[in-house]
Chains A and B, each alone.
Chain A
Amino acid sequence: MNIKLLKLLSKDSRTSTADLATMLGISEEEVRAEIAEMEHEGIIRGYKAVIDWDRLDSAYVSAIIELKVTPKAGLGFEDVAAKVMKYPEVESVYLMSGVYDLNVVVKGKTFQEVAKFVAKELSTIESVNSTATHFVLRRYKELDVELLGTGKDERGSYLL
C-alpha cells in the first residue's frame, strides 16, 4: 500500500500515471499495479469531482441529520445504518460518539424536500427514536478544497 500515492490521488485523482510515476520515483507500471491493487482491495473506492454547486442555478440544499437510534440486539447500529444509506438522498452516514448515534448528510432540491424526506422516511424507520435536522447555509470548504477566496498567489515577486 503506497500512502504517498494515495495522498497524491486524494489531492488530484486526475493526475496522469506518468506524472505520478515521476513524482514518486517509480515506474508507470508500478503506479498502475498499485492503483489496481488498491481498487481491488477496496482501499480506493471511487474518483469524484469537487463541485461548488452554489455557483450554479441548480444548487441543492443539504442538511446534517442527527439520529438517535435504539440499537438492535446482535446487530447494533448496522441494521439501521444499512437501511439509511440505501436512500439516494443520503450522501453519507457515520456512527458517532456522543449524544446521538448516526450522523446522516442528506441533500435535496429544496428545504421542503429535505424536510419531507426526514419526516416521511428517516424518522419513520423502526428503532429511530428522534431526529434533529441542521441545514447547511453555506459551504466554505469541501473535501479539502476552499470554495471561498480568489486562490490568488499573494507572494510578491522579489528576487530571493
Chain B
Amino acid sequence: MDYSKILSPTVQSIKPSGIRKYFDIADSMEGVISLGVGEPDFPTPWEIRKAGILSLESGKTRYTSNWGMEQLRAEICRYMNRKYSLSYEPKTDVLVTVGGSEAIDACIRAITSPGDEIIIPQPSYVCYQPIVALAGGTPVIIETTAEHDFKLTPEALRSAITPKTKALIMPYPCNPTGGIMNRQDLEAVAEVLRGTDIFVISDEIYSELTFGGNSHVSIASIDGMHERTVVVNGFSKTFSMTGWRLGFACGPAPIMKQITKIHQFAIMCAPTTSQYAAIEALKNGDEAVKTMREEYDMRRRLIVNGFNKIGLTCREPLGAFYAFPCIRSTGLSSDEFCERLLYAEKVAVVPGTAFGQGGEGFVRASYCYSTQHIKEALSRIDRFLKSLQK
C-alpha cells in the first residue's frame, strides 16, 4: 500500500524533530551525561501528590465539565489575579487543558484559517510552527537575536506584519533562549498591536521561573491587550507536574467558547486526578515553588558562570531553566558541536537549530540537574573545547 497517498500532505511535510538522532545515539551509549532534558528533576511536591491520591481514594474518577472543574477554574482565576493582575471569569474565560501543549494547539486551530499568517519569534519551543501548518496557516518567523537578549523588538514585529497577519505567538519566558520580556519590552510590542486585529497567543508556561529580581509580566496585563490575548499556562514547569498533563488557557469569553469546542470533541476533559492535584497546587503550592526556584537559580548561576569560564559566551538567561551558550568560537555549527561533543565526551546538549534556524551558533543546556551533574558536564565540555584547540 502506498501510504504516502493515504497520509495528508501537510502532515508528511512536517519535519520530524532534528535532534531525535542525538538522543538515539545517546541512548545507545554507556555513561552519557545529559543536559538535554526539558523537565524538572524535582518530583511533584508531596502535598500536591497527596491531593491526587486522596481524590482517587475517594473515587473521584469520572469526567469533569469540558471546561474543567469549576473549583479549579475559580482557583486559576484567583491565581492569575494575584500573580499577574489579570481578571478572568471562571465560568466563561478559562479552559483546563491537557498540558499547555493542548491549549496552544486548540488556540491556534481556533483562530487560523487557510492562508492566515501567524508570527512566531524564534528560537522558540518546537510546537508552534507545525501546529500552525496543520491548521493551514502560514508560519512567519521572526529571528530574535542575542544582541537583543532574544527579545521580540517592535521593529521586527512591525516588519513581519502583513494584511494576512492573524496572530502573534509570544513564547516568553523563552525555551530555549532563557529570554524574557519585561514590562517595557511588552509595552513596545503592545504599541504595535493596539488598534490592529492581530491576536496574541502568549505561552507563559515558564512564568514562575524568572530570575535576577525579574517577576513575570503577562502581555495580557498591558493596556488594551486583555481583549486580544489568550494566555496559556500550566502546571508542568511551575509545580514540577509534567506527567500529570495539565494546563490551561485564559482569554476573552467569545474566543474561549470556540476553543472549548475543539477541546470538547478532541479531549472531552482534562484528567480528573490531575485537576484535584492542581487545586492543591494553586492553593498551597507557593512555598514549594519558591524552594524549587531558588534551587534552579543556584544551578543557573553555576552553569552560566561555568560556560563563560571555559570560553563559551553565555548571556544570563533570566527565565525558564536553560542556558543558551554561543558556540561560534569553536568554528563548528550547532549540529557538529553537539554530535562531536556527544561522541568525544558523552555529553548531550541540544543544537540551537532544533528551535529554528536562528538558533545556529548556540546550544541549549538544561540545568534541571543536580549541581554535581552540571559540574561534571561542564568539565567534560571544557575537555572537549581544549581538544578542539589542539
Which residues does A use to contact B, with CB under 8 Å?
Answer: 4, 8, 12, 15, 19, 22-25, 153, 155-160
Q: Is the CB of B350 within 8 A of A155?
A: no
In the assembled complex, which residues on chain B have CB atoms less than 8 Å from the CB atom of A22? 301-302, 305
Contacts A12-B371, A160-B175 aside, 13 further interface pairs with beta carbons under 8 A come to A8-B298, A19-B375, A22-B302, A23-B298, A23-B299, A155-B41, A157-B23, A157-B26, A157-B34, A157-B36, A159-B126, A159-B350, A160-B125
In this assembly, does B39 line the interface, its C-beta being within 8 Å of a C-beta of chain A?
yes
In the assembled complex, which residues on chain A have CB atoms less than 8 Å from the CB atom of B294? 4
Query: Could you list some 10 contacts between A and B, CB below 8 A?
Result: A4-B298, A12-B371, A23-B302, A24-B298, A155-B37, A155-B41, A159-B17, A159-B19, A159-B23, A160-B37
Q: How far is the CA of A113 from the CA of B175 in the complex (A)?
A: 59
Question: Which 9 A-B pairs give the minimum distances between C-beta atoms?
Answer: A160-B38, A23-B298, A157-B23, A22-B305, A159-B17, A155-B37, A22-B301, A157-B36, A23-B302
Q: Which of B298, B299, B301 lies at the interface centre, i.e. has the most chain A CB atoms within 10 A of its CB?
A: B298
In this assembly, does B372 line the interface, its C-beta being within 8 Å of a C-beta of chain A?
yes
Q: Mark B351-373, 1 if CB is under 8 A from A, else 0.
A: 00010000000000000000110
Give the total number of A-B pairs whose CB atoms are below 8 A apart.
Answer: 49
In the assembled complex, which residues on chain A have CB atoms less than 8 Å from the CB atom of B27? 157
Main secondary structure of the interface of A (DSSP, over half): loop
With A153-B34, A153-B37 as given contacts, are A23 and B17 in contact (CB-CB < 8 Å)?
no
Q: Is the CB of A157 within 8 A of B37?
A: yes
With A4-B294, A157-B27 as given contacts, are A15 and B36 in contact (CB-CB < 8 Å)?
no
Name the residue of chain A whose CB is nearest to the CB of B306.
Answer: A22
Q: Is the CB of A159 within 8 A of B305?
A: no
In the assembled complex, which residues on chain B have CB atoms less than 8 Å from the CB atom of A25? 301
Q: How far is the CA of A12 from the CA of B298 in the complex (A)?
A: 14
- The minimal Cβ–Cβ distance linking A115 to chain B, given in whole angstroms, is 38
- The minimal Cβ–Cβ distance linking A4 to chain B, given in whole angstroms, is 7
Q: How far is the CA of A22 from the CA of B36 in the complex (A)?
A: 23
In this assembly, does B20 line the interface, its C-beta being within 8 Å of a C-beta of chain A?
yes
In the assembled complex, which residues on chain A have CB atoms less than 8 Å from the CB atom of B375? 19
In this assembly, does B348 line the interface, its C-beta being within 8 Å of a C-beta of chain A?
yes
Q: How far is the CA of A136 from the CA of B351 in the complex (A)?
A: 50
Q: How far is the CA of A144 from the CA of B372 in the complex (A)?
A: 16
Name the residue of chain B whose CB is nearest to the CB of A16.
Answer: B375
Name the residue of chain B whose CB is nearest to the CB of A11.
Answer: B371
- The minimal Cβ–Cβ distance linking B105 to chain A, given in whole angstroms, is 15
Q: Is the CB of A159 within 8 A of B20?
A: yes
In the assembled complex, which residues on chain B have CB atoms less than 8 Å from the CB atom of A159? 17, 19-20, 23, 38, 126, 350, 354
Q: How far is the CA of A35 from the CA of B301 in the complex (A)?
A: 20
- The minimal Cβ–Cβ distance linking A14 to chain B, given in whole angstroms, is 10
Q: Which of A4, A157, A158 lies at the interface centre, i.e. has the most chain B CB atoms within 10 A of its CB?
A: A157
- The minimal Cβ–Cβ distance linking A6 to chain B, given in whole angstroms, is 13
In the assembled complex, which residues on chain A have CB atoms less than 8 Å from the CB atom of B126? 159
Q: Which of A12, A23, A158, A160 lies at the interface centre, i.e. has the most chain B CB atoms within 10 A of its CB?
A: A160
- The minimal Cβ–Cβ distance linking A83 to chain B, given in whole angstroms, is 40
With A24-B298, A157-B26, A157-B348 as given contacts, are A19 and B371 in contact (CB-CB < 8 Å)?
yes
Name the residue of chain B whose CB is nearest to the CB of A157.
Answer: B23
- The minimal Cβ–Cβ distance linking B19 to chain A, given in whole angstroms, is 5
Per the 8 Å Cβ criterion, residues 97-133 of B in contact with A are 125-126
In the assembled complex, which residues on chain B have CB atoms less than 8 Å from the CB atom of A157? 23, 26-27, 34, 36-37, 348
Q: How far is the CA of A25 from the CA of B299 in the complex (A)?
A: 11
Q: Which of A8, A19, A24 lies at the interface centre, i.e. has the most chain B CB atoms within 10 A of its CB?
A: A19
Q: Mark B1-23, 1 if CB is under 8 A from A, else 0.
A: 00000000000000001011001
In the assembled complex, which residues on chain B have CB atoms less than 8 Å from the CB atom of A158? 23, 38
Q: How far is the CA of A159 from the CA of B16 in the complex (A)?
A: 11
With A4-B294, A22-B301, A25-B301 as given contacts, are A160 and B39 in contact (CB-CB < 8 Å)?
yes
- The minimal Cβ–Cβ distance linking B387 to chain A, given in whole angstroms, is 24
- The minimal Cβ–Cβ distance linking A17 to chain B, given in whole angstroms, is 13
- The minimal Cβ–Cβ distance linking A150 to chain B, given in whole angstroms, is 14
Per the 8 Å Cβ criterion, residues 157-180 of B in contact with A are 175
